[in-house]
Amino acid sequence: MTTTTRVTLPAGASAPPAPPPRRVKPRKDRAGYLFLLPWFIGMLFTVIPFFASLYLAFTDYNLLNAPQWIGLGNFREMLDDPLLRQSLKVTFIYTFVSVPLSLVVALGVAMLLNRGVRGLPIYRAVFYLPSLLGGSVAVVLLWRYIFGLDGVVNAFLGWFGIDGPAWTSDPDYALTTLIVLHIWTFGSPMVIFLAGLRQIPAMYYEAAAVDGASKWHQFRSITLPLLSPIIFFNLIQSLISSFQTFTQGFVLSSGTGGPADSTMFYNLYLYQQGFSQFNMGYASAMAWMLLVIIAAFTALNFLAAKYWVFYDN
């Protein structure tokens, strides 16, 4: 991460001293490009499908016959597609509930760990683990058992005399279950928060304490402003990835987006259109629509950032 490499620089080091003049200037950039080569090759696999899907978005393409140009036909159809609206609703609820909550949890845990806990690397690893696994098939399956009708959660609720619902098969609760799963995977923003917290100089807090500022006040006036770029980064990252959620809905519902389309994420619907219903043109149009949506929210965030993100340089 950029933050950790920069910590090794000596304080106040601006530009490195200019190298002594030489007669032959070595081509330093050649090695750089050599190291970048795998990335350029990988880019081909992104760039070609990228433009292909842009073209397909304006066609009627059933995977089996050559695509037929239909102009804006797919986009017009999207206006009148109830399932598309449902998938947008599911994705938006999921994103706007789970992203803020998981960031709050991540920041909270990061602050707890930052208070000089012994065995920090172990805790950090333990909390980070779920975010490595959270998107995996095995964990969603496990989650299905934990939240099953006779699962751990309902057994726990049973101790308090609460008759728990069918968390994964009831359309009113299935999405909630996935939101909880998302919040549980707070590890990767947490690790970034933790790195950010450690960059805040202790002397600010010392000075504030001398002036008699409460812990809450210190948090509001020192931690939050100095951490705001990190919060901003995490926010953007989480938003982008959560708009693209697929696995959780796919595994929980065995690919159907059920029960009653309650876990029909935008990407899951896109996948169904493309691969189950042979509407690859429509699926491509949906993919571009998602790109526009994500870009719009990211742009909005960058605009809003002017008012709350504090860059101390």
Partner 1 sequence: MTGEPVRNTPNRRDVLRMTGLAGLGLGLAACGRGFGGGDDEPAGGAVQLNMVWWGDAKRAEKTQAALDIFQRKHEGITVKIEYQDSGPYKDKLATRFAAGDPPDVMAMRMDSLREYADRGTLLDLGQHSGAVDLSGLSESARTLAAVGDKTYGVPAGLNAIGFVVNRTLTEKYGVSIPDGDTWSWADLASFARQVTQASGRKVYGTNFEAFTLANFIVFTRQHGEDFYTADGALGVSESTVVEWFEMVEAMRAEGGFPPAGFIEKVGASAEQSYLAKGSIASQIIPTNNFLAYNAAAGGNLALLRIPGETQAVRRGQSVDCPHLWSVAAATKHRDEALALLDFLANDVEASKATGTTRGVPANTSVAQEIKPSLEKDDQVATEYLAGLQKEKLPRSYTYPPGSSKIASSLESIAAEVEFKRQTPQQAAKTFLDTGRKALGK
Interface pick for partner 1 out of 256, 288, 293, 297 (rule CB under 8 A): 256
d(CA 143, CA 180): 10
- Report cis status (omega within 30 of 0) of the bond before 259: yes
The token pair that represents 132 in the structure block? 């490595």
Distance CA 67, CA 129 (A): 44
Looking only at residues 127 through 156 of this chain, which bind partner 1 when binding is defined by CB under 8 A?
144, 148-149
Closest CB to partner 1 among 4 and 214?
4
Label residues 100-134 b or e (16+ Cβ within 10 Å = b): eebbebbbebbbebbeeeeeeeeebeebbebbebb
d(CA 303, CA 53): 29
Identify the residue among 70, 101, 226, 293 touching partner 1 (CB under 8 A): 226
Q: Is 282 in the site for partner 1 (CB under 8 A)?
A: no
Give the largest CA-CA distance in the chain. 84
Quote the crossing angle between the two packed helices 224-243 and 187-199, to the nearest 10°: 160
The count of residues interacting with partner 1 (CB under 8 A) is: 61
When binding is defined by CB under 8 A, the residue of 249, 257, 281, 289 that contacts partner 1 is 257
Comparing CB distances to partner 1, the nearer of 49 and 108 is: 49
| Nearest distance in Å: CB 20, partner 1 | 29
The H-or-E segment that residue 25 falls in is: none
Q: Does 158 bind partner 1 (CB under 8 A)?
A: no
Phi, psi of 7 (to 5 degrees): -65, -25
Q: What angle do CA 215, 308, 224 make, to 5 degrees?
A: 20
> Which region, judged by CB under 8 A, interacts with partner 1, from 30-38, 92-100, 169-177, 208-216?
169-177
Stretch binding partner 1 (CB under 8 A), from 27-35, 60-68, 102-110, 178-186: 60-68
Residue 73 near partner 1 by CB under 8 A: no
**φ, ψ for residue 68 (rounded to 5)?**
-110, 130
Judged by beta carbon, residue 208 or residue 226, the one nearer partner 1 is 226
Residue 126 or residue 132: which is nearer to partner 1 going by CB? 132
Residue closer to partner 1 by CB (options 232, 265) is 232
Does 313 sit near partner 1 (CB under 8 A)?
yes
Interacting residues with partner 1 (CB under 8 A): 2-3, 6-7, 11, 42, 45-46, 49, 62-65, 144, 148-149, 165-166, 168-172, 196, 198-203, 226-227, 229-230, 232-233, 236-237, 240-241, 244, 253-261, 272, 275-278, 280, 298, 309, 311-313
